[in-house]
C-alpha cells in the first residue's frame, strides 16, 4: 500500500427531510448571507428550493437565488454567480441539484475572493488562497461531488468547448444534506447515468498496479456488489427508498476517495469521457457506459488476474483457471448487460457520437505529448484504439 494523506471534513446529514436542516447547518458553519444555486427547474418543481428557503428564513439567514445551471456546467454562469456574491456580500453558497450544480457552486466559492479568473484553477497550477464555504443538497446520486474534492466546468476557449476538472481540498463541501427521496423524481435515464458514474468512480480506483491493497479492494468490491444489486431494483421501482438510500451513500463513498487511498488510480476512462461530453453535450454517465467497458477490453491483458478478481467478486462468475481471459471477458460482458438493460448506450451510435471525430478528441487529450491513465499509460494511438473499440462495439 502507498503512503497517503486523507482529509474529508464534510459535515453530513443523511435521511428523509435532510433539506429542512439547511438553516441549522448554514448557521452552524457561519453562513449569514447565502446564495442558493440550482439547475434548470427540477429543484423548483419539486418544492426543494422553497423548503430550503423556508429553513433559512427560520434561521434568520438572508438568501438570494441563482438558477439555470445546465448539465455539463458552463463558465458563464459561474462568472455571474461570482459577481452576484460580491454585489450581495454573500458569505456561503448552498448548491441544490446534481453534480453540475455542485461543481458550478464550487467554482463560484473559489472565484469570489480571487482577483483573477476562476478558470486559472482549472488550467492547473494556481490554487485559491480563500474560498466561501459550500453547503450541498444533492438531488441525484451520481457524481459524488457532495463529498469529493473535484469540480468540472465547461468553457468555450478559442471557439471550442473545453471541459476541465480541478481537484482541490478547497472543493470539499463544508456540509452536505442528503435526502434519498429527492432522487425519486429523476427520469429513469438520469438514474441510470448516475448509477453508472458511481460504479465507474469505484472502477477507476479498483484497476490499479499497487499491490497488497486488500482493504480498499474489498471496500471497492462491496460498493460495486451493492450497486449490482440496487441498480436494477431502483430501475424497476423508482420509489424504493432503501434502494435509493443505498445508491445515494454508495455515490458519496465511491468518490470521496476513501476507496482510493493508498493505491494508484487510473482515471483514463473519465478523461476520455470528458471529450465526449464536451463535444456532444451528452450525460457524463452515458459517455462512461460507452468508454469504460471498451477501455477494460483494451487493457485487460495487462493484468488479467485483476479482471478475473473483478468478475468473480463483483458478479459471482466462477473463475476459469485454464482460460482466465474468458472469465475476464465474461465479467465485462456482465457489466455491459447490467448497463445496457438499464437503457444506457454501449457504443458511439447509441450515444450519438461520431467515429470521424476521434482524431480531434485524441488531439485534445494528447496535446504536448500528454498521456492518460495509470493502470496502462495510454498514448495517442492507444487512446484512438479505445475510442474505436467503443465506436465499433455491437450488442450481442
3-state secondary structure of 5: coil
Contact 212, 1 (CB under 8 A): yes
Binding segment for Zn ion (CB under 5 A), chosen from 105-113, 173-181, 190-198, 232-240, is 190-198
Q: Which of 31, 128, 144, 180 binds ligand NZQ (CB under 6 A)?
A: 144
Q: How far is the CB of 100 from ligand NZQ (least distance, A)?
A: 3
CA proximity to 220, closest of 206, 210, 204: 206
Chosen from Zn ion, ligand NZQ, none, partner binding at 40 (C-beta under 5 to 8 Å by type): ligand NZQ
Binding segment for ligand NZQ (CB under 6 A), chosen from 28-36, 116-124, 182-190, 293-301, is 182-190
Q: What is the DSSP string of 60-97?
A: T-EEEEE--PPSS-BHHHHHHHHHHHHHHT--EEEEEE
| Residue list 315-344, contact with ligand NZQ (CB under 6 A) | none
Nearest residue (CB) to ligand NZQ, 102 versus 311: 102
Nearest residue (CB) to Zn ion, 92 versus 342: 342
C-alpha cell at 115: 482577483
Q: How far is the CB of 330 from ligand NZQ (least distance, A)?
A: 27
Chosen from Zn ion, ligand NZQ, none, partner binding at 71 (C-beta under 5 to 8 Å by type): ligand NZQ
Contact 149, 169 (CB under 8 A): yes
| Residue list 92-131, contact with ligand NZQ (CB under 6 A) | 97-101, 103
Q: Which of 182, 272, 311, 365 binds ligand NZQ (CB under 6 A)?
A: 182
Q: How far is the CB of 255 from Zn ion (least distance, A)?
A: 7
Which backbone phi and psi does 365 adopt, to 5 degrees? -75, -35
Helices (H), 237-357: 241-255, 268-280, 284-299, 304-315, 324-341, 348-351
3-state secondary structure of 214: helix
C-alpha cell at 143: 457524481
211 Cβ neighbours under 8 A, 6+ residues apart:
none
Q: What is the DSSP string of 125-162?
A: S---S----EEEEESSSSS-TTT-SEEEEEEEETTEEE
Contact 395, 290 (CB under 8 A): no
Nearest residue (CB) to Zn ion, 308 versus 338: 338
204 binds Zn ion (CB under 5 A): no
CA proximity to 128, closest of 153, 108, 102: 108
Q: Which of 104, 136, 145, 216 binds ligand NZQ (CB under 6 A)?
A: 145
Q: Which of 19, 103, 181, 197 binds Zn ion (CB under 5 A)?
A: 197
Q: Which of 27, 40, 380, 388 binds ligand NZQ (CB under 6 A)?
A: 40
42 binds ligand NZQ (CB under 6 A): yes
C-alpha cell at 31: 453562513
Q: Closest-CB residue for ligand NZQ? A: 98
Q: How far is the CB of 148 from ligand NZQ (least distance, A)?
A: 4
Q: How far is the CB of 42 from ligand NZQ (least distance, A)?
A: 3
Kindly list the residues in this chain that would bind Zn ion in the complex (CB under 5 A): 197
Kindly list the residues in this chain that would bind ligand NZQ in the complex (CB under 6 A): 39-43, 71-72, 97-101, 103, 139-140, 142-145, 148, 150-152, 182-183, 185-186, 190, 193-194, 197, 255, 270, 284-285
Amino acid at each position: 500500500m502507498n503512503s497517503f494523506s486523507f482529509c474529508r471534513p464534510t459535515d453530513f446529514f443523511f435521511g428523509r427531510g435532510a433539506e429542512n436542516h439547511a438553516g441549522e447547518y448554514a448557521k452552524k458553519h457561519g453562513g449569514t448571507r447565502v446564495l442558493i444555486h440550482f439547475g434548470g427547474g427540477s429543484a423548483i418543481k419539486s418544492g426543494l428550493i422553497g423548503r430550503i428557503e423556508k429553513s433559512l428564513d427560520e434561521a434568520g439567514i438572508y438568501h438570494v437565488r441563482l438558477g439555470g445551471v445546465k448539465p455539463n456546467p458552463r463558465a458563464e454562469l459561474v462568472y455571474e454567480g461570482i459577481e452576484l456574491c460580491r454585489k450581495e456580500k454573500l458569505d456561503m453558497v448552498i448548491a441544490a441539484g446534481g453534480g453540475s450544480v455542485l461543481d458550478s457552486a464550487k467554482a463560484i466559492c473559489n472565484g469570489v475572493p480571487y482577483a483573477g479568473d476562476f478558470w486559472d484553477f482549472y488550467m492547473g497550477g494556481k490554487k485559491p488562497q480563500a474560498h466561501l464555504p459550500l453547503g450541498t443538497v444533492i438531488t441525484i446520486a451520481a457524481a459524488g461531488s457532495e463529498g469529493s474534492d473535484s469540480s468540472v466546468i465547461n468553457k468555450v476557449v478559442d471557439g471550442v468547448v473545453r471541459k476541465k476538472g480541478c481537484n482541490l481540498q478547497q472543493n470539499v463541501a463544508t456540509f452536505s444534506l442528503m435526502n434519498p427521496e429527492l432522487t425519486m423524481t429523476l427520469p429513469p435515464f438520469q438514474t441510470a447515468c448516475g448509477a453508472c458514474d458511481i460504479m465507474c468512480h469505484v472502477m477507476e480506483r479498483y484497476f490499479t498496479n499497487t499491490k497488497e491493497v486488500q482493504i480498499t479492494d474489498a471496500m471497492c468490491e462491496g460498493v460495486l456488489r451493492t450497486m449490482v444489486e440496487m441498480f436494477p431494483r431502483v430501475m424497476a421501482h423508482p420509489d424504493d427508498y432503501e434502494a435509493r438510500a443505498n445508491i445515494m451513500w454508495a455515490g458519496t463513498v465511491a468518490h470521496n476517495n476513501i476507496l482510493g487511498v493508498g493505491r494508484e488510480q487510473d482515471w483514463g476512462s473519465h478523461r476520455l469521457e470528458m471529450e465526449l461530453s464536451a463535444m456532444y453535450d451528452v450525460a457524463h454517465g452515458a459517455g462512461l457506459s460507452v468508454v469504460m467497458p471498451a477501455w477494460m477490453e483494451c487493457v485487460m491483458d495487462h493484468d488479467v488476474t485483476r479482471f478475473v478478481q473483478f468478475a468473480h467478486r463483483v458478479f459471482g462468475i466462477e473463475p476459469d483457471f485454464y482460460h482466465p481471459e474468458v472469465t475476464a471477458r465474461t465479467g465485462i460482458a456482465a457489466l455491459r448487460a447490467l448497463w445496457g438493460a438499464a437503457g444506457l448506450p454501449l457504443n458511439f451510435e447509441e450515444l450519438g457520437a461520431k467515429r470521424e471525430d476521434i482524431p480531434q478528441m485524441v488531439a485534445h487529450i494528447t496535446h504536448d505529448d500528454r498521456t492518460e491513465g495509470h493502470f496502462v499509460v495510454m498514448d495517442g494511438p492507444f487512446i484512438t484504439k479505445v475510442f474505436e473499440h467503443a465506436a465499433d462495439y455491437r450488442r450481442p
